[in-house]
């Protein structure tokens, strides 16, 4: 089997009416890099990579991230992989990875994260091909540990819309997610003072009680000292995990200090470009859960390596975003814990719009499709409407 063609589309959705703030960044749109790898015997592998989600009108180019990765696929990876056997994913991954360090790698102006995002999308498409060629799901190819995966709600952003989004709104939304069947909720923190966040968390716990898992995501919003002070204030509310508490520049040794200060386990990894960074986070940063995002940096090939490192360090896999991809991976490994989902179409129109066939979520679980590859199909009408094919 040989790779005959690699195509890439940049998909963008219209700017949101509501701006969703994390601690330090506004999210005002979504975009996605869609990859199709075609083989000489007619199999088409679908890959997806994370786009940007910046704010139109505030950020000069709100699709910059996905626009950065797309030409890496068509100008560098396509000529590199044409004619190669798509089943040799480890070999092809190393070949693609060499774009980040070979002589002259910087001459195109592509950043390392552009290249890693491009690799992720192509690698996912190669695993889709591998599954389709073998007639089995990616989950079963990788180990098939279970067929159903726990999932949780990502919600509770600081929202900037027509009306103020208060603690009462947060509590009402959380009650609605519980009624939908979810038993685990993650909210954003660190955009306001610790005292104000305590009020939000209390309002939420008063509404849903203490039987629902609650996770807090600071998106690297605190100094180490503030992160320690904050988790001591939040501990009484029974927190399942404390995600990315400290600023980017001290996210290994600083994390270890926070980990030593609390019984709440830490969660991080979505900013790591590669498995080596994840190794350091787990081994030296003392995280108990890793959110390494296979569709942002490592593809399937990179993700399973991180899962193995996590396994031998007693850490669990709880990846960032995209249950249609990560569900298959979390299901496959013994230390797969949960996947992140976005039940609100206003925040994640990709999940609600892009797929003609995708898994469903019921009672906080996602049934892993037992169809070949990832078992998903994109809706070509949506690709046509939202997409631009990259030359
Ligand atoms: Mg996060």
CA of 268 to the centre of ligand 1 (A): 7
Compute the distance from residue 21 Cα to the ligand 1 centre, in Å.
Answer: 12
CATH 3.30.390.10 residue ranges of the chain are 3-135+379-389
Whole-number pLDDT of residue 63: 52
Query: Residue 243 Cα, ligand 1 centroid: separation in angstroms?
Result: 6
26 CA to middle of ligand 1, Å? 13
Element (DSSP H or E) covering residue 150: strand 148-154
List phi, psi (to 5°) of 312: -75, -5
Question: The domain 140-377: what is its CATH number?
Answer: 3.20.20.120
Q: Is 314 left (phi over 0), alpha (psi -120 to 50) or beta?
A: left
Q: Ligand 1 centre and the CA of 107: distance in Å?
A: 32
DSSP 269-281: -TT--SHHHHHHH
Q: What is the pLDDT of residue 60?
A: 45
DSSP 59: B
Neighbours of 56 (CB within 10 A): 15
Task: State the residue for tokens 């609650």.
Answer: 214
CATH 3.20.20.120-classified regions of the chain: 140-377
Report how far ligand 1's centroid is from the alpha carbon of 44 (Å). Answer: 31
| Ligand 1 ion local residues (Cβ < 5 A) | 217
- What per-residue confidence (pLDDT) applies to 62? 46
Alpha-carbon distance 278 to 290, whole Å?
8
Q: Give yes or no for a contact between 212 and 240, defined as CB atoms under 8 angstroms apart.
A: no
Q: Report the greatest alpha carbon distance in the chain.
A: 61
The CA distance from 349 to 344, in Å, is 8
Residue carrying structure tokens 């939202």: 386
DSSP states of 160-214 as a string?
ESSSB--HHHHHHHHHHHHHHT--EEEEE-SSS-HHHHHHHHHHHHHHH-SSSEE
pLDDT of residue 334: 98
CATH superfamily of 3-135+379-389: Enolase-like, N-terminal domain (3.30.390.10)
What does the DSSP 8-state code read for residue 56? B
Those residues of the chain that have pLDDT short of 70 are 52-66
How many A from CA of 187 to the centre of ligand 1?
9
């Amino acid at each position: 089997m040989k790779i005959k063609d690699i195509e890439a589309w940049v998909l963008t959705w219209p700017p949101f009416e509501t701006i969703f703030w994390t601690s330090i960044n506004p999210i005002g749109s979504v975009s996605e890099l869609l990859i199709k790898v075609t083989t000489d015997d007619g199999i088409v592998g679908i890959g997806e990579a994370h786009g940007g989600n910046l704010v139109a009108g505030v950020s000069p180019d709100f699709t910059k991230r996905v626009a950065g990765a797309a030409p890496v696929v068509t100008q560098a990876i396509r000529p590199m992989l044409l004619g190669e056997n798509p089943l040799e994913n480890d070999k092809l991954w190393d070949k693609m990875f060499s774009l980040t360090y070979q002589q002259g790698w910087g001459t195109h102006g592509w950043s390392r994260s552009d290249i890693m995002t491009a690799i992720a999308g192509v690698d996912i498409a190669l695993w889709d091909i591998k599954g389709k060629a073998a007639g089995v799901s990616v989950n079963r190819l990788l180990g098939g540990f279970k067929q159903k995966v726990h999932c949780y709600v990502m919600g509770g952003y600081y929202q900037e819309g027509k009306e103020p989004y208060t603690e009462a709104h947060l509590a009402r939304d959380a009650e609605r997610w519980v009624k939908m069947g979810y038993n685990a909720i993650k909210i954003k923190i660190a955009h306001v003072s610790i005292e104000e966040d305590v009020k939000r968390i209390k309002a939420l716990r008063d509404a849903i009680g203490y039987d629902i898992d609650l996770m807090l995501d600071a998106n690297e919003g605190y100094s180490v000292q503030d992160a320690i002070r904050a988790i001591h204030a939040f501990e009484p509310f029974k927190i399942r995990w404390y995600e990315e508490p400290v600023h980017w520049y001290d996210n290994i040794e600083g994390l270890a200090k926070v980990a030593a200060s609390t019984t709440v386990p830490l969660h991080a990894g979505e900013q790591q470009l590669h498995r080596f960074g994840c190794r350091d986070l787990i081994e030296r940063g003392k995280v108990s859960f890793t959110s390494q995002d296979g569709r942002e940096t490592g593809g399937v090939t990179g993700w399973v390596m991180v899962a193995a490192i996590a396994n031998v360090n007693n850490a669990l896999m709880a990846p960032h975003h995209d249950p249609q991809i990560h569900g298959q991976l979390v299901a496959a490994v013994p230390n797969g814990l949960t996947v992140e989902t976005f039940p609100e179409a206003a925040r994640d129109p990709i999940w609600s719009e892009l797929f003609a066939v995708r898994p469903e979520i019921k009672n906080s679980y996602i049934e892993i499709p037992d169809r070949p590859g990832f078992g998903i199909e994109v809706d070509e009408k949506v690709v046509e409407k939202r997409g631009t094919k990259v030359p």
